[in-house]
Amino acid sequence: MKFNLKYLIAGLVCAVIIAGIGVSSYISAMSVNEIRGLKGMIEEAKEEANAPEDPEYVKIGEVYEIKPTKNISDAYISGDESALTDDEKKTLQLASEVIKEVVKDDMSLYEKEKALYDWVTKNISNEYEGMGANPQQLAEPGSVLVTKTAVCVGFATTYKLLVNMIGIDCMVEHDFEKSHSWDVLKLDDGCWYICDCYMGVSARMANFNLNQEYALANHSFDVSQYPVANGMKYFPAFNEKKDIYKPEDVIKLMAEFIEGKSDFMSIGLKKTSTSNAALEYLISGISSRVELKNAYLDYSVSNVKIDGVEYTLALISKSTMNEGYEEIPEETIEKYDRLLDHQFGEMEGGDDGDSGDDDETDYTEAMG
């Protein structure tokens, strides 16, 4: 049942009246119209409180609202936009232009979905600093398709609208605190998949059509509230994985990946008691030793059970640096390393320079 402030206030008024001055004495002092007005307010509040909620409408804290867009996608499918508001018609036009640009008639449903996912993750930015005057514009498809900027909610609602328009069933999922949102959608195999467009901006394929078991490694949510994402047919991170048979095999694959043109690779290793920790350690070690131009290695490692077989699956992406990112000069890094070593001791196995007696850094001045 929905919380209704008007209902609560009316109830409290009645409670105070009854407890404080008695029913009969108060009623005698009230006009008939006042009594009818109070009764009407209570009845109206009851109707609102008991009215069915729109499952598409979600309040995110006190900042964002997810508003229903089914009428927009229905209008696209039917070709009848007469029932839409002017703002909804504008949203429909913008979304239709995206679909016209990237979706072709000879594509499969999966190919259409992938084309829309690629468009959203390549054309919408999650760098929204300085746009806080009207935060709701970062959450609504109509505004997002104009500004090309969104928070996670805006990515989720925009992608949902686009795939709904091409006939894909989709809903927005949230973590427990509603601090992050993404999509879960149903494809033509009858199975559900998880897509996180917001995270996909920096690691596209690592967040596309995930199986729920893998997604839970990086997403925390109430699984009882959403469809189970158990799809495998269109889970490319698993289906296109490179199998290895011992953890150290990842070294050669990573070297080839770093030198190659591909921006994504997935690696599968049959799970053992140490496979997860071993892959995590090796990939982390490689990442810390490699410098990419205007990019960095983004990776996740988790265990997933597929067809009764347990795998440790690693997803690695070459993620582009955000526009405006500036690397710290090498000499500044060396200075910072000396300061950290002086204050906290050298890192085990560290090779960040000699910090012996000949170090002439003025630590007092450097640390302010």
Give the span between the Cα atoms of 18 and 14, in whole angstroms. Answer: 6
CATH number belonging to domain 241-320: 3.30.110
> Hey, what are 19's tokens?
């407890």
Query: Under a CB-based contact definition with an 8 Å cutoff, are residues 187 and 113 in contact?
Result: yes
Residue 135 backbone dihedrals phi, psi, to 5 degrees: -60, -25
* Domain limits, the chain: 5-50, 58-237, 241-320, 330-366
Give the span between the Cα atoms of 150 and 104, in whole angstroms. Answer: 26
According to the model, what pLDDT value does residue 49 have? 45
According to the model, what pLDDT value does residue 361 have? 52
pLDDT tens-digit readout, 267-292: 999 999 999 999 999 999 999 998 88
Helix (H, G, I), strand (E, B) or coil at 197: helix
Give the span between the Cα atoms of 226 and 109, in whole angstroms. Answer: 22
Please name which of 125, 162, 124, 140 lies closest in space to residue 66, comparing C-alpha atoms. Answer: 140
| 58-237, CATH topology level | C8orf32 fold (3.10.620)
pLDDT tens-digit readout, 66-95: 888 999 999 999 999 999 999 999 999 999
- Residue 328 makes CB contacts below 8 A (sequence gap 6+) with 336
DSSP string, 60-110: ETTTEEE---HHHHHHHHHT--TTS-HHHHHHHHHHHHHHHHH--TTS-HH
pTM of the model: 0.72
> Hey, what are 116's tokens?
């829309």
Going residue by residue through the chain (368 aa), what tens digit of pLDDT does each one get? 444 444 444 454 444 444 444 444 444 444 555 555 555 555 544 444 443 356 677 777 677 888 889 999 999 999 999 999 999 999 999 999 999 999 999 999 999 999 999 999 999 998 776 555 577 888 899 999 999 999 999 999 999 999 999 999 999 999 998 889 999 999 999 999 999 999 999 888 999 999 998 898 888 899 999 999 999 999 999 999 999 999 999 999 999 999 999 999 999 999 999 999 999 999 999 999 988 877 888 898 988 888 888 999 999 998 776 554 456 777 888 888 888 888 888 876 555 444 444 555 554 444 44
* Fold agreement (58-237, 241-320): no
Give the span between the Cα atoms of 230 and 186, in whole angstroms. Answer: 10
Tell me how far CA of residue 81 lies from CA of 75, 89, 95, 168, in angstroms.
5, 7, 13, 20
